[in-house]
Amino acid sequence: MSIFAAASFWGASATAAKFLFEHRISPMLVVQSRVIIAAVVLVAFLLVLDRRHLQVAFRDLRDFALLGVIGVAGSNYTYYMAIKVTSVGIAILMQYTAPALVAIYVFITKQEKVSRTKAFAVVLSLAGSMIMLGAFDPKMHITALGIFFGIVSALCFAFFNVYNKVATKHYTVWTALTWTLLFAGAFWLILDVIFGAKTLKIGTIGSSEIWMLTGFSLSSILIPYFFYFTGLKHLPASTAIIVSTLEPVVAIVSSFLVLGETLSFSQIAGGLFIVTAVILLEVYKE
């Protein structure tokens, strides 16, 4: 249920993001500021609630740095770069090849037993994503650079799911989430310094936009990542990432219900493929 909750929040946040874009807040500002704001809010919350969750061994900081920079910031950055040079559909589709990458990795390294049911669920979720996102549409805008960023995005997302088990093994969800987001936020701030404040542009937005971004950061980063970290504590990485493919299903349905966007037959069919994959994992638990 935790992974489903995370996927639901991520999916619904796509609709919320469109609202922000309509208020002339750039996609890059959204993806950067939401991590930074979430990290600041979480640290402030724990300073008041329980400072013990902020304690971490120095030797483990490297693990959280890798998880935050590659797994969170890296996957987000390459995902949005893929959108910029190709299309949203292709970017999402490329990122959701990650379940297959995780399944292959854990099978080769023998970290998990990949049953026929789980392998079939991977195929179903991938096929569902392809159908839902119109991968077979000849009008799809595909570029070599877009494919490159899409593949890197999938690798980063796959890395996040696999390495999360290593980095968070000896820590609570609160501790792991806090340090992961801190390093992800630091990545964006360093990038901002390197490029001479050409990325964040916090000073160019008003107080109302800041409040909107704060709410968005809680619903698209802090809450769903808390659920996802919790789910990864109890589920194999390959199972968790397959369930996470429910995100585009929730995104499309919420856009239909809230924004009145058209829901096509292919989207319904693709969504059913993904839902079936998740049901298979639940019915045939290993």
CB count in 10 Å sphere of residue 36: 23
- Both tokens of 183, joined, read 């390093």
User: What pLDDT band is residue 31 in, cutting at 50, 70 and 90?
Assistant: confident
Reading phi first (left if > 0) and then psi (alpha if -120 to 50, else beta), residue 201 is in left
Confidence band for 66, pLDDT divided at 50, 70 and 90: very high
Instruction: Note the pTM of the prediction, 2 decimals.
Output: 0.80
pLDDT digits (tens, 9 = 90+) for 151-164: 888 899 889 888 88
Tell me how crowded residue 94 is: count the other CB atoms within 10 A of its CB.
27
Predicted confidence at residue 244, as pLDDT, reads 79
Residue-range definition of the domain harbouring residue 28: 2-283
For the chain, the domain total comes to 1
pLDDT tens-digit map of 93-102: 777 778 777 8
Rounded CA separation 129/119 (Å) = 16
Task: Give the rounded percent of residues in the chain with a pLDDT score beyond 90.
Answer: 13
Check residue 169 and give its pLDDT: 82
The residue with greater pLDDT, 102 or 133, is: 102
Contact 231, 240 (CB under 8 A): yes
pLDDT at 80: 74
